[in-house]
Amino acid sequence: MTEMVYGAAPIRSGDPILPRWWRTIDRWSMAFVLGLFGMGLLLGFAASPPLAEKNGFEPFHYVTRQAVFGAAALIAMAITSMMMPVVVRRLAVLGFLAAFVALIFLPVFGTDFGKGAVRWYSLGFASVQPSEFLKPGFIVVAAWFMAAAGEIGGPPGRTYSFFLAMTICALLALQPDFGQACLVMFSWGVMYFVAGAPIALLVGLGMLAILAGSIAYSGSEHFARRIDGFLSPDVDPTTQLGYATNAIREGGFFGVGLGEGQVKWSLPDAHTDFIIAVAAEEYGLICVLVIIVLYAAIVVRSLTRLMKERDPFIRLAGTGLACAFGVQAMINMGVAVRLLPAKGMTLPFVSYGGSSIIASGIAMGMLLAFTRTRPQGEISDLLGRGR
């Protein structure tokens, strides 16, 4: 009778952790993540030698580091995906608090590495970017607040989450890092929409975002320079956008061949923010389409599984993580093809960077934990019984 009401339970009492995890995890999404990581290593072999030569390292120094960071990220993803949602939430709260405190003290103890934006803590042997770890923690905390607001006698969690998002955006704008600030607000907006926010309120928030952008344009030379460069009808061929645009054009459908690309010798961020330009030049449009399909498949599969979820917290947190993952990839690739202003945002699991790939591994582990098959009925079953 229980199975007739709640559906067949995929988890049997007394199952060992690993078999239970393997049976309930979204194995296709895991495979797609591994595919993205593999693409990142492949592109690293093409993009990193010029930078390694410039800095006096072995040709594949950065590929080796990326492999180490990636291994740590995949281990973190696997361990996190084995956790129960309540454990993920508790760890996310602790991680969020640590990253939030680190973000507050960033203007005092952080460094810009000559890039004009104080976003990192230098550890000597490596650097840490707190905002990368803040995003998944914030999404889970905001989802917790919103879910609590839907309970009888619950707190005004939506209001709390809004002020928290605004505080984070203000701290990010001080770096300045408007790209991450936009991603935080987008993630919050998606979760708020799924939680049942009225369209009029979301439109009002959109207008508020436009107003904030106008103020930032007037008050920040860094922001204004990037917007002016994006709106200019002509692209300076000696800028990063100019090099990236030319590389994508030269690549065509099948690329110029492995190791034959030239953009990696001109772009200082060819291995990070503009890695997709290297992919387009050396491997062509076909490679770029494969990368896009992998990102889209992860997002679509995750959202499809979350549509069946009855727990509002899991549904909101999973939706926020999936959409943030997909939109970050869209922003990175959109900048490279000049559909968006330059934002300094990495391509998850593909771009070089310890903070980026490890934080992406943790976020994907959370998403896989939330999308695991659980012994429950679909939400449509619950709605059907209420008729």
Residue 261 has φ and ψ, to the nearest 5°, of -70, 155
As given in the structure block, the two tokens for residue 12 are: 């049997």
Contacts of 151 (CB under 8 A, 6+ apart): none
Backbone region of residue 110 per phi and psi (left: phi > 0; alpha: psi in -120 to 50; beta: other values): beta
Question: pTM (2 decimals)?
Answer: 0.88
Contact status, residue 289 vs residue 39, Cβ threshold 8 Å: no
Contact status, residue 133 vs residue 177, Cβ threshold 8 Å: no
* Mean pLDDT per 10-residue interval, the chain, length 387 residues: 39 70 93 95 86 83 91 96 95 96 90 78 84 95 93 87 93 85 91 84 78 74 69 67 80 80 77 86 92 96 93 95 95 85 84 91 97 68 49
**Token match 């727990």: residue?**
311
Q: Do strands 121-122 and 127-128 pair parallel, antiparallel, or not at all (unpaired)? A: antiparallel
pLDDT of residue 9: 45
CA distance 41 to 146: 38
| Cα torsion through 162, 345, 99, 147, rounded to 10 | 30
CA distances from 239 to 16, 135, 220, 292 (A): 55, 30, 20, 25
Contacts of 208 (CB under 8 A, 6+ apart): none
Q: Residue 176, preceding bond cis, omega within 30 degrees? A: yes
Cα end-to-end span (Å), the chain: 20
pLDDT of residue 16: 79
